[in-house]
Chain A
Amino acid sequence: MATDDRSGITAVQGLVGPEIAASRITPGCNGEYYLHVGETEFGPLVTSLALHKCALIGLFCTEGFVSASRFSLLYVFEYKATVLILVRNTGGVATSVARLLPSASWFERECRDGFGIEFDGAFDERRLFLHETYPEGFHPLLKSVRNEPVATRSAVDPAEEYPFRKVTGVGIYQVPVGPVHAGIIEPGHFRFSVIGEKIFNLEIRMFYKHRGIEKLAEGKRPQEVVRIAEAVSGDETVANATAYCCAVEKCTGTAVPDRAWYLRTILLELERIGSHLGDQAGMLIDIAFPLGANQFAVIREDVFRMNALLTGSRFMRGMVEIGGLSKDIRKEQLEELGTFVRQARKRYRVGLKIVLSTSSVLDRFAPTGIIKKSLLRPLNITGPAARASGGRVDVRVNHPYGVYDRCVPAPKPLHDGDVLSRFTVKASEILDSLDMIERLLAAMPDGTVKTEPEVKDGYALALVESARGENLCWVWIRNGVVERYKVRTASFCNWQAIEHALQGEIVPDFPLINKSLNLSYAGTDL
């Protein structure tokens, strides 16, 4: 066992307590630790982890993971640099942990829809990704269910429609919005309970775009699934492909050439820059300041064109592969990228100055849509949304992958947690990413960009910092094909932050607050 593993196990033991023998904690392929727990010790253990300020960053079900039980629930806990996965076996009924760890609520509902697992004591037992047109008792992620067309109902009796939380009282009325919105936006439903203009409660209903990503991956050869990972969310193409490939590379023991990691990191940062620029332009459009918005929209289009020049795709699709990249990027193209980065930085600063010196912008941005720091861990809010509320969470820093240990980002957290903070955090991250690309270009090693992967069975967890925060991916390869592909994007958890950020705000500020987080519906709905 490597020294790393020993110090890691010591860290895990510090969280789970001395009652758990160190020999039971087993290291995974990618720095994560697994602990199989019995039903009697599970409750106290979870309480202890919650008390140790661990965040529940993922919870998913898988079938046939251990021979002794049909289902296994994998609870992924994170504390600073430590990631611990509790493996809890179940025949189909388990106790809920959502009262203790609120991020578990959506996770448990997801397991219930997918596998039919019932959670005793859950405070919310409504369906999640299977809307009411799906038949009762249909659980698509069960191995016994084939991935083929299913008969759904074309109409639903009003009595069977999704029951939104009821908020009643004098003067409270409901504003239903969506799933089809007024702009060119993805579909989702927002149910506002409003008093006058003030929002008393917002409930978000998602999963209109549920297209069965996880089931689609099952039974496919690992290489084929990279394109599915890219389709999780268009603007997180590189992040999700990298997370998936990283997990497969770790469990197959494939060493990715250095040059491939340098180039991947450039693509990851370009993706972040493009996404943040889009958010910033969108926020400014939503407060009717197109002069500012277009400063960023133009640079963003240039980023798309640069992506196309480097990779042949404006979304950098088809580039990331298991073992590295599908093709190298030529020296002249990288030089062009260097020139672009220098120019973009100058132009970006000009735009930023215009925006941040406009009083009407500041008036709308501050102090609007505050996300409290105390919500970050219970709801597992990550990414710029967390860093604008004082959270020191960044996968690139806390769990560096690829070359992030050599090319370290410098996140600058803010504390106010409002729209202005999120705008400013994104601004500093754009500048930081531009700097990082320059550093990566300067240190670019020569060599190949791909190692042919060897197909090998195994499982691994990978975390990647997408533009929106921490994306989690767990891959299990069995008999040479993907047995289970679990993906949980940052958006899935961050959506719940909006419900809190809206309380007490006015309905017209909703688009702005929503845009300041700019979450992916596709990446949530899968």
Chain B
Amino acid sequence: MVNALSCLLKGKVTEDPLIRDDEIERIGRDIRREIDTVFGRSLAIRELDTGSDNATEIEINNLSNPYYDVERFGITFVASPRHADVLIVTGAVTHNMAGAARKTYEAMPSPKFVVAVGDDACDGGIYNGTYAVLGGADKIFPVDLKIPGNPPTPKDILTGLLALMNQAKKTR
């Protein structure tokens, strides 16, 4: 408490960030507010790769770099589906991943939301109708939101998550 007070009086103990992206700050503030309203404190996301080309994973990982640092908006990426509110799915669903993907979804507690990120997760993309994939994520479980892109940028993903908050409100 003393420490927190002294920080308030003296100002920040850390350096000011060198990077500032006003648009990200604005989207982030909106998400922060929506998460507080819809999910209480924070939004726990579990990422599931069902057959992506890894570009989308890289962009999701980038959300944690100092430019975006989305944890400050109340978004956390969790290690287990049992801790997750949202499942982010990347890639078309391959036959080889379908089983593990279903188990991951089933392991999530309700209420749960699924977001397909990237063209391949949205509808199977270039792999649609081929021998190795079942199609998009909606072939194996219900999908609440689709964020297209090859891959979508971190900004696109954040904007999509904001849309999910608005959608989740309606299900209450």
A residues contacting B by CB (< 8 A) are 129, 131, 133-134, 140, 145, 147-150, 152, 154-156, 179-180, 182-187, 207-212, 215-216, 227-228, 230-235, 237, 278, 294, 297-298, 300-301, 304, 308, 314-315, 317, 520-523, 525
| B99 & A215 in contact (Cβ 8 Å cutoff) | no
Cβ of B72 within 8 Å of any chain A Cβ, yes or no, is: no
- Report Cα–Cα, A133/B144, bound state, in Å: 28
Whether A294 contacts B99 in the complex (CB less than 8 A), given A186-B54, A209-B51, comes out as: no
| A233 & B54 in contact (Cβ 8 Å cutoff) | yes
Cβ of B96 within 8 Å of any chain A Cβ, yes or no, is: yes
| A211 & B94 in contact (Cβ 8 Å cutoff) | yes
| B77 & A152 in contact (Cβ 8 Å cutoff) | no
| B132 & A301 in contact (Cβ 8 Å cutoff) | no
Set of chain A residues within 8 Å of B59, measured between Cβ atoms: 314
Cβ of B150 within 8 Å of any chain A Cβ, yes or no, is: yes
B residues contacting A by CB (< 8 A) are 18-19, 47-62, 65-67, 77, 79-81, 91-92, 94-100, 104, 126-127, 129-134, 150-151, 153
**Contact pick for B52, options A149, A182, A209, A230, CB 8 Å:** A209
Set of chain A residues within 8 Å of B54, measured between Cβ atoms: 186, 233-235, 520-523
| B132 & A133 in contact (Cβ 8 Å cutoff) | no
**Contact pick for A301, options B55, B67, B151, CB 8 Å:** B67
Set of chain A residues within 8 Å of B104, measured between Cβ atoms: 180
Whether A231 contacts B100 in the complex (CB less than 8 A), given A212-B131, A314-B153, comes out as: no
Whether A210 contacts B132 in the complex (CB less than 8 A), given A184-B47, A216-B127, comes out as: yes
- Report Cα–Cα, A522/B65, bound state, in Å: 23
| B56 & A211 in contact (Cβ 8 Å cutoff) | no
A interface majority secondary structure: loop
| A315 & B132 in contact (Cβ 8 Å cutoff) | no
- Report Cα–Cα, A521/B57, bound state, in Å: 12
| B99 & A154 in contact (Cβ 8 Å cutoff) | yes
User: Which residue of chain B has the shortest Cβ distance to A230 in the bound complex?
Assistant: B53
- Report Cα–Cα, A152/B135, bound state, in Å: 14
**Contact pick for B94, options A185, A208, A301, CB 8 Å:** A208
Set of chain A residues within 8 Å of B80, measured between Cβ atoms: 182
User: Which residue of chain A has the shortest Cβ distance to B48 in the bound complex?
Assistant: A180
| B131 & A148 in contact (Cβ 8 Å cutoff) | yes
**Contact pick for A182, options B79, B94, B98, CB 8 Å:** B79
- Report Cα–Cα, A521/B61, bound state, in Å: 16
Whether A231 contacts B57 in the complex (CB less than 8 A), given A140-B131, A298-B19, comes out as: no
**Nearest CB in chain B: distance from A187 CB, A:** 5
**Nearest CB in chain B: distance from A181 CB, A:** 8
Q: List 13 A-B contacts (CB under 8 A).
A: A129-B96, A133-B99, A148-B131, A179-B97, A185-B49, A208-B96, A212-B127, A294-B65, A297-B66, A298-B18, A301-B65, A301-B67, A315-B151
| B58 & A278 in contact (Cβ 8 Å cutoff) | yes
Set of chain A residues within 8 Å of B94, measured between Cβ atoms: 208-211
**Nearest CB in chain B: distance from A466 CB, A:** 13
